[in-house]
Chains A and B, each alone.
Chain A
C-alpha cells in the first residue's frame, strides 16, 4: 500500500478507527467476560477441569440440549450466610459513605475557601495518598491497631485502659480502613463541584436575610448535591465489594461479600457459586452504578 492510499484510507475511515479500536477492546475484555460469568453461574459445579458443566450439550441424537441451572442462586438464597454477608456489606459501605461525607465535606469546603498556593498544596495533600499504594496504606493501620500497636500503647500510656483492647481484626478496624482509604474519593468530586459554585449565591442568601446555617441548608447544600452524590457513589460502590480491607483488618470476624467471592473461588474452587455471588453482587450494585454513569454524563455535558 503506497503512502497516499494509506493516507486516503485514514482520511475516510478515521472516525471508525478512533472509536473502533477502544470499542472492540472493551467489548472483548470487559463486556464478554460478564456474559461468561453469567453463563458459568448458571452451570452445575463438577469436580473436573474446568470445574463446571457445559451450558450447551450435544446430546446423543445430535440435538443440542440447554443445561441451565439456577441451583447456585437458590443455594445463595437458602444459605443464610450469603444473605447476611450481602446485607452486612451494604451496611458497612453505607455507614462508611456517611462517615466519609461527614469528614470530607467540611474538608473540601475548607480547601475551596483557601486562596492561591495554599489551596493547591492542600489539594495535593489529598491527592498524594491516592497515588501511594492502597495496600500499604491499609497495612499502616495494622501497625496502628495491633494489640501491641501504637494506639493501644498510647491509650495505656494515657491510663485510659490497663491492658490492650481488641482493635485489629474487628468490625471497627474495617470501618476505619474503608473510611481512610476512600476519603480522597469523596473529597475530590466534592471539591470539583464546590470550586464551580458561584460565591455570590451564598452572599445573596446572606443579603436576603439567611443566617449562616439557613444559608448553608437552603443554598450551599442543594447546589453541592451533585458532588455529594458523585462522591458517595465513588465510595459506596467499591466499598461494597471490598476485599483487601476486610481481609487484612477484619480477620475472620467480618463478613463481606468480596472476601466470600475471593475465598469461594481460590480456596473452594467452586466457580459456579463464585460466579453466582459475583452476578448477585452486580445486581445489588447495578442501580448505584447506573446512577453514577448518569452523574458522570451530566458532568461531561456541563463541561462542554
Chain B
C-alpha cells in the first residue's frame, strides 16, 4: 500500500517535471536548426545566433529592458522594504487596512487592468500637470515599481514575521532609540530578504509584456514587446536562439543562488547538530 502510494507520487513528479521542462528543452534544441521553418529539422547550425547578434533592434530593446529592470529593482526594493516593515512592525496607523489591501492586490491583479489604469493615469496627469511629457522609459519604470514593490513587501514581511523582536527589544533595552534600532538592527537583518526582493523585482520587470505595452509610447520597445511583435505571426528561429540565451543565463543565475542556499542550509544544519 505504502509502496503503491510512493510509486503514484513519483509518477506524478516525473510527469509534472516533464510537462514543465520538455517544451523549453525542445525550444532550445530547435534554436540550432538550420532550417528557416522552425519545426522542420534541417541540420545543426548556429546561423540564427549570428542573425540575432547582428540585429540592432534586439540590442536596443535588451539595453532598454535592462535599464528599466535595474531602476525598477532598486526603487521597488527601497519602497517594498519600507512597506514590509510598516506591515509587520507598525500595527496601528490610520489607513492600515487600505494599505494592506493595496499591497496584496497587485500580486493577483490581472495585468490588463493594471496596465490600462496606469496608462489612463499617465494621460490624465499629462493633461493636468504636463508630466509625463512622453511615455517611455519613465512610465514603464513607474508602472513596474508599483507592482514589484508589492512582491518585495511580502518577502520582507514574511522574513520579519519569521524573526522575533528579541534583537530589536535588546537594542531598545541597551538605549538605542527606535530609529537607531531600525537602522542598526532591523535593516541588516533584512539584507538577505532585500537581495531576494531585488532579484525578484528585476526578473518581474524583465518579464513584463502586458503592462509595458500599455504604458509605453512610440519609440520605446522593451525586449518582451519586441519578442511578442515577432512571434505573434508564428514561429521565428531567431527567437528560439534569443530564448535559449535568456533561459540559460537565468538558469545559471538561479543555480548559483540555489547552490549557495543549499550550502547555507547544510552549514546551519551542521551548526544545529553541534549545539
Using a CB–CB cutoff of 8 Å, the interface residues on chain A facing chain B are 10-11, 14-15, 17-19, 21-23, 25-27, 29-34, 36-37, 40, 50, 103-104, 106-107, 109-111, 113, 117, 120-122, 124-129, 131-137, 139-144, 146, 148-150, 153, 180, 183-184, 211-212, 233-234, 237-238, 240-244, 247-248, 258, 261-262, 265-266, 271, 274-275, 278, 281-282, 285, 288-289, 292-293, 296-297, 300, 303-304
Q: Which of B30, B103, B203, B224 contacts A26 (CB 8 A)?
A: B103
Taking a contact as CB atoms under 8 Å apart, the answer to whether B26 and A150 are in contact is yes
Interface of A: prevailing SS: helix
Taking a contact as CB atoms under 8 Å apart, the answer to whether B120 and A149 are in contact is no
CA A113 to CA B6, docked complex, whole Å: 10
Q: Which of A10, A135, A143, A300 contacts B30 (CB 8 A)?
A: A143
Taking a contact as CB atoms under 8 Å apart, the answer to whether B100 and A297 are in contact is yes
Q: Which of B118, B158, B228 contacts A33 (CB 8 A)?
A: B118
CA A23 to CA B100, docked complex, whole Å: 10
Interface of B: prevailing SS: helix
CB-CB under 8 A from A122, the residues of chain B are 13
B243 at the interface (CB under 8 A from A): yes
CB-CB under 8 A from B82, the residues of chain A are 17-19, 21-22
Q: Which of A15, A26, A240 contacts B110 (CB 8 A)?
A: A240
Least CB distance from B232 to A in Å reads 7
Q: Residue of B at shortest CB range from A11?
A: B179
Least CB distance from B166 to A in Å reads 13
Q: Which of B15, B20, B99, B262 contacts A23 (CB 8 A)?
A: B99
Taking a contact as CB atoms under 8 Å apart, the answer to whether B247 and A132 are in contact is yes
Q: Residue of B at shortest CB range from A10?
A: B179
Q: Residue of B at shortest CB range from A150?
A: B26
CB-CB under 8 A from A150, the residues of chain B are 26, 39
Greatest chain A CB density within 10 A among B88, B90, B210 is at B210
Q: Residue of B at shortest CB range from A288?
A: B108
B190 at the interface (CB under 8 A from A): no
Taking a contact as CB atoms under 8 Å apart, the answer to whether B250 and A131 are in contact is yes
Greatest chain B CB density within 10 A among A121, A132, A261, A262 is at A132
Taking a contact as CB atoms under 8 Å apart, the answer to whether B102 and A30 are in contact is yes
Q: Which of B15, B111, B153, B203 contacts A238 (CB 8 A)?
A: B111
